[in-house]
Amino acid sequence: MRLKDKVALITGGAAGIGKATAKVFAEHGARVSICDVNQEAGFQTAGELGCSFSILDVSNRQAVQDWVDEAFNELSRIDILINNAGILRDSLFVKVKEGKLIKQMAEEDFDQVISVNMKGVFNCTQAVAPYMIKQGSGSIINASSVVGLDGNFGQTNYVAAKAGVVGMTKVWARELGRHNIRVNAIAPGMVLTEMLLSMPEEALEAFKQRTPLKRLGTPDEVANLYLFLASDEASYISGEVIRIDGGLVIGT
């Protein structure tokens, strides 16, 4: 029971890594509140785990504040925030054929990914931080990505957002450490989630071949890293970005 009586808020908790994290946190004694834009999956997960669920777009600042305030009013404290929500809108930055521009990343696709994947992390953390400061403790864990560290072909928007998450993590670890609040980030590689399963089989196989362990990761493996960082076992770890990628080296 590594999280006994702790209160954990998890964004993007309806499926994939978020759901696996909510499950393992509940198994280790945490009281869990999840949010997601996927209403059907969210209510199903909440029913399975006995946790609370809110329909929420993390890019909506007021909606985030309302969710956090409601969770605190219901559960009386907030010990852990997992900023897990994210989306993909992949496209080449520019595509040229025979010297002519034929396609480029749409501005709305750039804006939407930044809004959810980076601003959403900002919104949730800023809403939670005052509660953690007042109680004098907390653990905030942000989902970055290996591509936020290494870059990746066709992911200008996603890479920019995930690199931004790394930067914010470093700043918040410095600013909030005096209040006994730890802030870390994880950088998953290719993890077998619904998002990844939308990719062609040949692309998944290529990622496996580039990974020294020759397989994709599982949501449970990432959830266990979240669990460790959220627990008191990681009480002297802050400002870190931990890769969980099977040794993957991103190529072009």
Question: Based on C-alpha coordinates, what's the Rg of the chain?
Answer: 18
Q: Which helix (H) or strand (E) holds 11?
A: strand 7-11
Which of 131, 158, 226, 236 is flagged as catalytic?
A: 158
222 and 244 Cβ atoms separated by less than 8 Å: yes
Helix (H, G, I), strand (E, B) or coil at 19: helix
Question: Measured at the alpha carbon of residue 150, what is the angle toward residues 19 and 217, in degrees to the nearest 5?
Answer: 35
CA torsion angle for 235, 241, 245, 250 (degrees, to 10)?
A: -170
Closest CA to 88 of 242, 195, 214, 220: 195
Is 131 part of the annotated catalytic residue set?
Answer: no
Helices (H), 84-180: 107-114, 120-135, 146-150, 156-176
Phi, psi of 137 (to 5 degrees): -170, 160
Question: Which residues are identified as catalytic?
Answer: 158
